[in-house]
Amino acid sequence: KAGVTQTPRYLIKTRGQQVTLSCSPISGHRSVSWYQQTPGQGLQFLFEYFSETQRNKGNFPGRFSGRQFSNSRSEMNVSTLELGDSALYLCASTRLEEGGVGYTFGSGTRLTVV
Amino acid sequence: AQSVTQLGSHVSVSEGALVLLRCNYSSSVPPYLFWYVQYPNQGLQLLLKYTSAATLVKGINGFEAEFKKSETSFHLTKPSAHMSDAAEYFCAVSPSGNTPLVFGKGTRLSVIA
């Protein structure tokens, strides 16, 4: 079956712009989480959505937001981009109803802010 | 709060040698523990997970890890390294199986021919 699909794979944006990243989870997975990966801070949790509701939120500024659609696809948005937002953004999905069997990750979107 | 410490940001082994990647965790409750591998320009792939069923967990690609509560450790091992094992490895903890993962800083494994 298809894995977690993230689009686009690569993005280059200018400081001050906004960006939207997309994530399609594995079929049947209703939980979608987002993580930011940078060389300095490592992997940090952004937020998690389940059934279109934000279930958990990490410690990121309000410029980072997300949403989930009825088909479980999720988007995250970053407004007023800063150079420090350059990172690999990873999406992960899981089937929460099974009590948690671990998260399956997508290949990520590499965002470069110039 | 949960945290994960991976000892050694870079480990280098010879092909055929034992691989040992160290992970220590702190958690106020019996945790779920995971090892993920990341190849260049790719996402994270689950190697194995501990969910309290058995302390010795076998994963993919010949990797295994042992949960030691007394040492709060979950070290990853593989008896014989292959060149294809060169990648970055992340240990992660979750207080339950379906709460956000807290990752260690990662260990980059190099395999020398």
DSSP helix/strand/coil, B62: helix
pLDDT, averaged across chain A: 93
Per-residue pLDDT of chain B in tens (113 residues, 90 and over written 9): 789 999 999 999 999 999 999 999 997 777 889 999 999 989 999 999 988 778 899 999 999 999 998 899 999 999 999 999 999 999 999 877 667 889 999 999 999 99
Q: Within chain A, which residues score under 50 in pLDDT?
A: none
Instruction: Find the chain A residues whose C-beta atoms sit closer than 8 A to any C-beta of B.
Output: 4, 6, 31, 33, 35, 42-45, 48, 56, 58, 90, 92, 94, 96, 99-108, 110
**Measuring CA to CA, which residue among B13, B2, B20 is closest to residue B92?**
B2
The per-residue pLDDT for B88 is 98
**Measuring CA to CA, which residue among A26, A75, A5, A73 is closest to residue A46?**
A75
Query: Which residues does B32 contact at the CB level (< 8 Å), separation at least 6?
Result: A100, A102, B49, B50, B51, B52, B93, B94, B95, B96, B97
Interface test with A, best of B37, B38, B44 (most A CBs within 10 A): B44
Phi, psi of B105 (to 5 degrees): -75, -10
The per-residue pLDDT for A59 is 95
Comparing CB atoms, the residue among A58, A100, A108 nearest residue B98 is A100
Comparing CB atoms, the residue among A102, A107, A110 nearest residue B46 is A102
Taking contacts as CB-CB distances below 8 angstroms, the residues of chain B near A105 are 36, 43-45
Query: Which residues does A5 contact at the CB level (< 8 Å), separation at least 6?
Result: A23, A24, A106
For A58, the closest chain B residue by CA position comes to: B100
Minimal CA separation from B66 to chain A, in Å: 18
The per-residue pLDDT for A101 is 63
Do B98 and A110 count as a contact with CB atoms less than 8 A apart?
no
Region of residue B39 (left: phi > 0; alpha: psi -120 to 50; beta: else): beta
Question: From CA A70, how far away is CA A80, in angstroms rounded?
Answer: 27
